[in-house]
Each structure stands twice: as structure tokens, then as C-alpha cells.
């Protein structure tokens, strides 16, 4: 590990391209509300080694693709970057699982919860974000979501 490299960069390098298996991907709409829940399994020999990396990276994707909504426009900071402080503020240990939860951060409508269970099972849950989490999963797998025109 390069000692000059920020920890956040190391987390990204560890997480992007990690082998996963999608267990379920559910999207529901009810009136003006949307809910997406993706459950996947990390397919590594020691999946728990990647817990912080995966949680940080998915929370970064959520923040990056989040936009202001309603009153949060007044709090929006356009050039704000995701950082470990934001991440740690939303991180907790609950019921034997690591859990990240972000609501509105820096004026961005995140509405994202990520639960990392021992053994590498991850639940990614979003509210009113459309099907954006599909893109985050592609990025996590190291895939591009844009295809060339034929």
C-alpha cells in the first residue's frame, strides 16, 4: 500500500471490480414514491475483508449521482466531494451488521441504506432514486453502463 495514497482511494481500488452475484433486484412504485432493493453476495474467499471498501464505494456512488430535491436545493453545495467524514457519520453497527445510512447530505437527496452482513451478503436499499442503484452495481463490478451505438 502506498502510504501517501488516501484511504478513500484504497477503498475504491479494493471494491471496484469485486466479483458479486446478484440475489435479487426489486423495484416498486407507489403513487409518487419509488423503492429499489438490491441484494447481492460478494464472491471472495474472505468477503468480510471488503466490508468497509464496499460500503464506502456504494455510498460514494449514491452521493455522486444524488441531486437536490425540494428544500434541499437551499443547502446544495455543487462542488462538494464525498469524504470519509460523511461516510463515518452514516455508519453504524446494528444487529450484528455494518450499516450505512444517508438521507440528505450537503443538499443531496441520497435516501440510501446499505447493510453488510457477515459473510459478504449486501443489501442496497434506495428511496425515490429511480433505478439508479443498477448503475452503481455495474460500477462496483467494474463494468461500463454506456454502450456504443450500433
Would 2 be classed as within a structural domain?
no
Would 51 be classed as within a structural domain?
yes
* 120/20 Cα distance (integer angstroms): 9
- Residue 70's pLDDT band (boundaries 50, 70, 90)? confident
Would 146 be classed as within a structural domain?
no
* This prediction's pTM: 0.90
Which grid cell is 87?
A: 461516510
Q: How many domains are there within the chain?
A: 1
Contact 100, 26 (CB under 8 A): no
Span 21-51, pLDDT tens digits: 999 999 999 988 999 999 999 999 999 999 9
Find the domain containing 80 and state its range: 7-140
Would 94 be classed as within a structural domain?
yes
- Residue 76's pLDDT band (boundaries 50, 70, 90)? confident
Would 32 be classed as within a structural domain?
yes
Contact 72, 108 (CB under 8 A): yes
Span 124-140, pLDDT tens digits: 999 999 999 999 999 99
Which grid cell is 112?
A: 440510501
Amino acid at each position: 500500500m502506498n502510504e501517501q495514497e488516501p484511504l478513500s482511494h484504497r477503498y475504491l481500488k479494493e471494491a471496484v471490480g469485486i466479483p458479486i452475484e446478484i440475489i435479487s433486484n426489486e423495484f416498486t412504485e407507489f403513487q409518487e414514491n419509488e423503492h429499489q432493493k438490491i441484494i447481492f453476495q460478494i464472491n471472495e474467499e474472505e468477503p468480510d475483508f471488503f466490508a468497509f471498501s464496499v460500503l464506502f464505494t456504494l455510498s460514494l456512488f449514491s452521493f455522486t449521482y444524488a441531486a437536490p430535491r425540494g428544500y434541499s436545493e437551499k443547502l446544495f453545495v455543487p462542488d462538494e466531494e464525498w469524504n470519509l467524514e460523511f461516510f463515518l457519520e452514516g455508519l453504524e453497527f446494528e444487529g450484528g451488521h455494518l450499516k450505512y445510512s444517508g438521507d440528505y447530505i450537503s443538499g443531496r437527496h441520497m435516501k440510501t441504506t446499505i447493510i453488510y452482513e457477515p459473510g459478504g451478503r449486501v443489501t442496497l436499499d434506495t428511496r425515490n432514486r429511480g433505478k439508479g442503484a443498477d448503475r452503481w452495481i455495474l460500477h462496483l463490478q467494474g463494468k461500463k453502463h454506456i454502450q456504443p451505438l450500433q
